[in-house]
């Protein structure tokens, strides 16, 4: 059926275009006047279906068939609020903070081609983008900060009470820091240290006038700069130890910088005043030049002359520490969940991972669940700084904690948690992020890069596997060794860990052509046997600068040898003799220096090098000679060379191998 005035359908039932040519079957329908007949435009005229009837009805009412449009660009609403997001936030938590349904957040993730469930953990960057899409700016916090923030909001001022001051002892190496602390607590810490040097952080508390003072002893060697900085972060007061017979040294200046960066007051202990060459006033002058003016000179820095050996003025030093602490008004809430800082971590054969923790606030109790970095744990036992077992530890006090799932990073914050499910979720999230970072650091070499390195052939690598007694030392030694790298030798610490050298370490070293460095640890018996079998080099040390010196020597030996040419002498050819079964022998006179039997020679003709080779025979008359000095005649045979003519010059030299200086 056709309506009046309708053009006849073309082949296949298609309507012709105004020019007479029928439309292509895949062309979209164009808008027609509202008076089109109901059966025009059917694709299948003989089998009308629901789609045809719907199209006909639309055309009768004058509506056009909607054409699919390209999706419009998403424009986020203007920012009108701020929310705080913590690492490892889930879709559900983000939707609650944004005040929208979780389905809307999931839909927005789908728009970003990301499939997620309501309990999916979101990356911080992705969470920020989602919040912006819903008109909110973000303030990023760590899980510990968020937990602490919630506790502090409900905390009352009357809950807070005075806490002991945490004092960090800093100063240059061998200025008497440990000896001073040793004298204060009447113990003998320094005698047990290798070489008299403190190798890692120790924390101890003493009593004075019924009040407690907590001391942190930080190492003085320059390689432990990072550990001193970490000590300054958790401290309330810095005691700067300066030897009266030595003066202000590089580590002294570093300690001042760390203390100022941490914005903590400095008390100067001028040590070794009992020595005959002590000059306390000179020390005050040097410190005044660095901005630390003594109180008796009109400044505000407390300076106490002490002697650790003679135990002079130790009580005065403690009183000054308590006085400065009173002025700071240090307070903490013992009733809240504990939070602290990991000062040290080590792997104990019998007890497993052990962390030395300084509690900053709250009370840490046996049985508490806690999170520290990417490690989850439960306090199974605690020991105080005297090795005695204890059930709880209050603010500002140190303790050894047993019950960790793995070794934490030194400097991580320890937070007691009540929501263990959420804490485990955060740990899993952090572990995945740490794994991603470790994977990103892996040097994956391409074929082009490999070709370039082989072509240049200049850079050598020294692979090291490092095992130490505690985690902080491993971190510092890794940095120290890698800083020894230069443009000729690159040091790679393939693996660093805590504990004894195991068979796995030896097998890794064998596979990667590495040496094993043990610091304050020893190899297991099976590991030593495997090392002997695999010819793996194990170096054991207890003092850090000796280790650094040995690695420098290893780097020097690893470099390509440099060969230096040393001139020995020259001889002029007077006559050339052809001898059967021997070849040509040059009759020469030595004009300069000496010709030796083991010399290499160049044959010069008109000052042009004709040949470079070795002396095959050297004779004086008919006798073999080891050397011929200037002014004497000799016969010289050059190995595999016979083109010798009168007037040629034979120049003798030797090539000596010179150890390359890796450190100039």
Residues catalogued as catalytic: 174, 177-178, 221
Sheet hosting strand 166-171, strand order edge to edge: 202-208, 211-217, 166-171, 237-243, 266-271, 302-305
The Cα–Cα gap between 650 and 604 comes to: 6
3 state DSSP class of 376: strand
Cβ 341 vs Cβ 370: under 8 Å: no
The Cα–Cα gap between 69 and 71 comes to: 6
The Cα–Cα gap between 577 and 147 comes to: 98
CB atoms within 10 A of CB 126: 15
The Cα–Cα gap between 551 and 553 comes to: 5
The Cα–Cα gap between 134 and 119 comes to: 19
Estimate the share of the chain in helix, then strand, then coil, as percent rounded to the nearest 5. 30, 35, 35
Cα 302 to the chain's mean position, in Å?
A: 37
Query: Which has the closest alpha carbon to 495: 480, 510, 474, 473?
Result: 474
Pairing of strands 352-361, 460-468: unpaired
Query: Which has the closest alpha carbon to 199: 178, 180, 182?
Result: 178
Size of the chain in residues? 664
Q: Which residues contact 228 (CB under 8 A, 6 or more apart)?
A: 170, 218, 219, 254, 255, 258
Cβ 383 vs Cβ 400: under 8 Å: yes
CB atoms within 10 A of CB 32: 15
> Within 13 Å and on the Cβ side, how many CA atoms surround 497?
15
The Cα–Cα gap between 352 and 356 comes to: 13
């Amino acid at each position: 059926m056709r309506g009046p005035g309708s053009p006849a359908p073309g082949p296949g039932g298609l309507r012709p275009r105004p020019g007479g040519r029928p439309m292509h079957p895949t062309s979209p329908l164009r808008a027609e006047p509202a008076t089109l007949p109901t059966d025009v435009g059917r694709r299948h005229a003989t089998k009308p279906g629901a789609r045809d009837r719907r199209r006909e009805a639309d055309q009768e009412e004058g509506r056009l068939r909607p054409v699919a449009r390209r999706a419009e660009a998403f424009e986020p609403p203007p920012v009108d609020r701020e929310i705080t997001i913590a690492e490892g936030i889930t879709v559900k938590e983000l939707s609650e903070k944004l005040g929208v349904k979780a389905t809307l957040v999931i839909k927005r993730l789908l728009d970003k081609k990301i499939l997620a469930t309501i309990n999916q953990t979101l990356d911080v960057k992705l969470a920020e983008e989602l919040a912006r899409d819903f008109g909110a700016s973000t303030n990023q916090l760590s899980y510990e900060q968020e937990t602490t923030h919630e506790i502090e909001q409900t905390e009352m001022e009357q809950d807070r009470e005075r806490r002991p001051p945490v004092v960090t002892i800093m100063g240059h190496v061998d200025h008497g820091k440990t000896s001073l602390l040793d004298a204060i607590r009447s113990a003998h810490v320094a005698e047990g240290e290798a070489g008299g040097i403190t190798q890692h952080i120790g924390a101890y508390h003493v009593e004075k006038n019924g009040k407690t003072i907590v001391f942190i002893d930080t190492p003085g060697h320059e390689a432990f700069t990072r550990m001193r900085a970490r000590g300054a972060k958790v401290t309330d007061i810095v005691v700067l130890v300066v030897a009266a017979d030595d003066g202000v040294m590089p580590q002294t200046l570093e300690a001042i910088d760390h203390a100022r960066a941490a914005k903590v007051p400095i008390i100067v202990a001028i040590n070794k005043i009992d020595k005959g060459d002590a000059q306390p006033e000179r020390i005050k002058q040097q410190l005044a030049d660095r901005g630390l003016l003594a109180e008796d000179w009109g400044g505000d820095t407390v300076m106490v002359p002490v002697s650790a050996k003679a135990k002079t003025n130790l009580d005065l030093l403690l009183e000054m520490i308590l006085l400065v602490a009173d002025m700071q008004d240090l307070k903490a809430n013992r009733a809240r969940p504990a939070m602290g800082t990991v000062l040290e971590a080590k792997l104990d054969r019998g007890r497993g991972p052990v962390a030395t923790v300084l509690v900053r606030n709250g009370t840490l109790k046996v049985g508490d669940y806690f999170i520290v970095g990417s490690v989850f744990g439960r306090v199974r036992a605690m020991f105080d700084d005297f090795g005695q077992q204890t059930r709880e530890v209050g603010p500002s006090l140190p303790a050894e904690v047993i019950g960790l799932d793995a070794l934490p990073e030194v400097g991580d914050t320890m937070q007691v948690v009540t929501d263990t499910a959420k804490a485990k979720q955060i740990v899993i999230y952090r572990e995945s992020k740490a794994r991603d970072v470790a994977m990103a650091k892996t040097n994956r070499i391409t074929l082009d890069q490999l070709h370039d390195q082989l072509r240049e052939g200049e850079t050598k690598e020294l692979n090291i596997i490092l095992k130490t007694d505690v985690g902080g030392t491993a971190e510092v030694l890794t940095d120290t060794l890698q800083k020894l790298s230069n443009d000729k030798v690159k040091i790679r610490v393939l693996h660093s860990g805590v504990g004894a050298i195991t068979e796995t370490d030896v097998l890794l070293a064998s596979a990667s052509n590495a040496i094993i460095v043990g610091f304050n640890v020893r190899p297991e018996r099976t590991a030593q046997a495997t090392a002997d079998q695999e010819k793996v080099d194990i170096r054991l040390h207890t003092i850090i600068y000796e280790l650094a010196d040995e690695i420098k020597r290893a780097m020097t030996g690893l470099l390509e040898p440099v060969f230096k040419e040393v001139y020995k002498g020259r001889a002029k050819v007077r006559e050339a003799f052809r001898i059967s079964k021997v070849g040509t022998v040059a009759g020469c006179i030595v004009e300069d220096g000496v010709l030796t039997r083991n010399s290499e020679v160049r044959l010069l003709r008109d000052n042009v090098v004709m040949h470079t080779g070795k002396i095959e025979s050297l004779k004086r008359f008919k006798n073999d000679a080891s050397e011929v000095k200037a002014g004497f005649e000799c016969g010289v045979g050059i190995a595999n060379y016979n083109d010798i003519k009168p007037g040629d010059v034979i120049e003798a030299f030797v090539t000596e191998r010179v150890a390359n200086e890796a450190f100039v």
